[in-house]
Amino acid sequence: MPDTPASSHNNRSQGAKNVLFCLRLLHTLTSLGVAHLVISPGSRSTPLVMAASVLAGKNKAKTYIHPDERSAAFFALGIGKSTGIPAVLICTSGTAAANYYPAVIEAKKTSTPLIVISADRPQAVRHRMAPQTIDQSFLFGKYPLVYRESESLIDAVYDDSVADFLSADGETAKLSAELFRVSTQQAGPVHLNAGFSKPLEPSPDEFDALQEEISFILKSSVMGAMPGFKRLPKISLDLHKALSQIEHHLEKSAKPVLIIGPLNILSAPERSLEAAIRKTGIPILAESTASILPNNKNAITKEGFEFPHLEAYEQFLRQPEILEQLKPDLIIRLGFPPVSRALNDYIKSNSDVFQIALASTSEVPDPDTTADEIILLPPCSSDEAETALQAEPLSLSINKKNWVDWSGIWKEISKVYSHIRESLMENATKTDAEKKLTDGLAIRSLIKLISADSETGSPQCALFISNSFSVRDLDLFRNNTLPFSHVFHNRGASGIDGVTSTALGCTTGINGELWLMIGDISFLHDTNALLQIATLTNARLRVVLLNNSGGTIFRMLPVYNHQQIYTKYFETPQQVDFGTLCRAYGIEYRKAKTSKELTKHFEEKYDGPVIIEAITDPDSSMTERRLLWNTAP
């Protein structure tokens, strides 16, 4: 029985109206640039799925099917992270859409484009205890940039003939354009709740006729140039004004410092400003998650200054006697708040110093309220930033000699502590081949391999770094030569949910391999990602699973001293056979217990996805971290 009597403005059935509405909706999105449709199976979303199948059959978009909405949402998030263009998430009614919530939060907090379309019952039959029905209105609270309902458009849009399918004047096309524009230009998630009456789909004969009709129109049109539809304008960025404000403060400063936290693919304003400020030679503390470290630490700028990005700050900023020498009079912060405890403590301990925080996001990047001035710019792609800067290149008229001595102090300290780190890690690798593997050695082995490949001209690889210890270890154990073309991360809500799915989504937007460095608990939190990995046999995803048998990051907390409850309730040891798990999904798997074995597996060539389990010793790993944190010259 239909939910409501099928009304009609023409001879089409309710099912045909539903599908034609969805075709018009999704076709407009693909015309604007959407290339990926991520679908979780369900009944109420049938019209959206049928429309997606038509567009996929005409090579207008690529579809992905995942039965777990939570993993599907993080997969779509990864697409947005790596391309800067939103993927479309499609699900049925009920709790299905609720599983999108963590990824929607992450998209908002990292300014990542994402379009969510949840199917629903018609409004007239909601709140009547119908099965598979919840209140989906504003389901994600304030996290979406916009929320829209589309049920009223389904009948109205068909007053037009199907020949007007490509028109941008209709309300459906305008709705699609709004969703795309807001998601890309404001950079974040948007939510459309689509109510469909039964029958949800047309009969097979009517669907075949509808496909023929639409196919004729699509063949006779030029995709991406919809009649009457103007392309969205480029983002207007006032980078020059932002730089002028920074320059004003720099001119009065004798001891400035630039700190760069996590960035994403739409953080082009921060990267442009970093490139300009770098030329002054002031000290720069850049996290790996910023993806702007020079590939060659000895590289020289056009002005003849050495790249001033500093190594080993995770070590020396933890030393009280060093902090007295490094007291600044100005702190400039770019991007999201830092991950590093050492950097955050440095920022907080200098709350009396004038601080400028700049980020391309709608949220205030100042968790400890230490910023005196906050500059927010709209996120944009590097191409848009370049367009915004073509008229007048960024430059600073600062006398670079002002900070030679100040920068020299930082560089000398950085050099000393870098040498300490390298000596400690070199001694760790000189032992026999059966030595216990540590998290730090695993990270350094991967960096060493990718660095060697880069020097031989091999295509660069990208890295996805998981939360908890992995993202912190990357900055603790790396040297300044970080060979990855980009470092992806989920540092918005900083959760461990959906990391593998997000990384897999990122593979759709990059050329070359993507290496994921992830801990065992984070990996287990997203095992349903293996369903998707098994279907994407050509995905160049290389997962390095750091198995230290539990959530050892909690050892950093005071609760670690309460051993009677710590192990059971916080570290949660696990004894999962990951090899059996991977083989159950048909995914290639390797296992390493030593550095030698791990390097061997790293050097292998893989045609598709692979999971490399590194059995690391948690006690030895913590010993290495504490040595680096607490060692003084």
Q: Could you please report the per-residue DSSP string of 36-98?
A: EEEE---STTHHHHHHHHHHHHTTSSEEEE-S-HHHHHHHHHHHHHHHSS--EEEE-SGGGGG
Average pLDDT of each block of 10 consecutive residues along the chain (633 residues)? 46 87 93 96 94 93 96 98 96 95 97 97 71 85 96 64 60 92 94 94 89 72 42 64 89 94 93 87 92 49 51 93 94 96 96 96 91 92 74 62 87 93 76 72 91 68 93 87 88 93 96 94 95 94 94 75 79 89 97 93 95 94 89 67
Residue 374, number of CB atoms within 10 A of its CB:
14
Tracing tokens 């590097």 back to the chain, one arrives at 382
Residue 79 structure tokens: 């697409």
Q: Distance (Å, rounded) from C-alpha 435 to C-alpha 425?
A: 13
- Say yes or no: do domains 14-219 and 431-630 share a fold: yes
**What is the per-residue pLDDT for 213?**
77
Q: Distance (Å, rounded) from C-alpha 257 to C-alpha 333?
A: 9
Task: List, in sequence order, every residue forming a beta bridge with 306; answer none if it has no partner.
Answer: 300
Q: Distance (Å, rounded) from C-alpha 134 to C-alpha 108?
A: 23
Q: Distance (Å, rounded) from C-alpha 434 to C-alpha 425?
A: 16
Q: Of 329, 326, 347, which Cα lies nearest the Cα of 338? A: 347
Contact 338, 357 (CB under 8 A): no
Q: Distance (Å, rounded) from C-alpha 521 to C-alpha 198?
A: 43
Q: Distance (Å, rounded) from C-alpha 351 to C-alpha 368?
A: 9
Top CATH class, 431-630: alpha beta
Task: List, in sequence order, every residue forming a beta bridge with 463; answer none if it has no partner.
Answer: 487, 515
Domain ranges of the chain: 14-219, 239-409, 431-630
Residue 363 structure tokens: 């949220």
Contact 291, 486 (CB under 8 A): yes
Q: Distance (Å, rounded) from C-alpha 107 to C-alpha 91?
A: 18
- The CATH code for residues 14-219 is 3.40.50.970
Q: Of 233, 115, 91, 110, which Cα lies nearest the Cα of 179? A: 115
User: Reading across the β-sheet that carries 114-120, which strands appear in turn?
Assistant: 62-65, 36-39, 88-91, 114-120, 189-195, 147-149
Tracing tokens 């004798």 back to the chain, one arrives at 254
Q: How far, rounded to the nearest angstrom, does the alpha carbon of residue 486 sit from its chain's CA centroid?
A: 11
Segment holding 602, helix H or strand E: helix 595-603
Q: What type of residue sits at position 330?
A: L
**What is the per-residue pLDDT for 163?**
52
Contacts of 430 (CB under 8 A, 6+ apart): none
Q: What type of residue sits at position 438?
A: T
Q: CA 466, 106, 118 angle in degrees (round to 5)?
A: 125
DSSP class of 569: I
Query: Which region holds residue 468: left if phi is over 0, alpha if psi is between -120 and 50, else beta?
Result: left
SS3 194: strand
**What is the per-residue pLDDT for 586?**
96
Tracing tokens 């009948």 back to the chain, one arrives at 155
Domain 239-409, CATH among 3.40.50.1220, 1.10.260.40, 3.10.350.10, 1.10.10.60: 3.40.50.1220
SS3 115: strand
**What is the per-residue pLDDT for 597?**
94
Predicted TM-score (pTM) of the model is 0.89
Residue 43 structure tokens: 């009944």
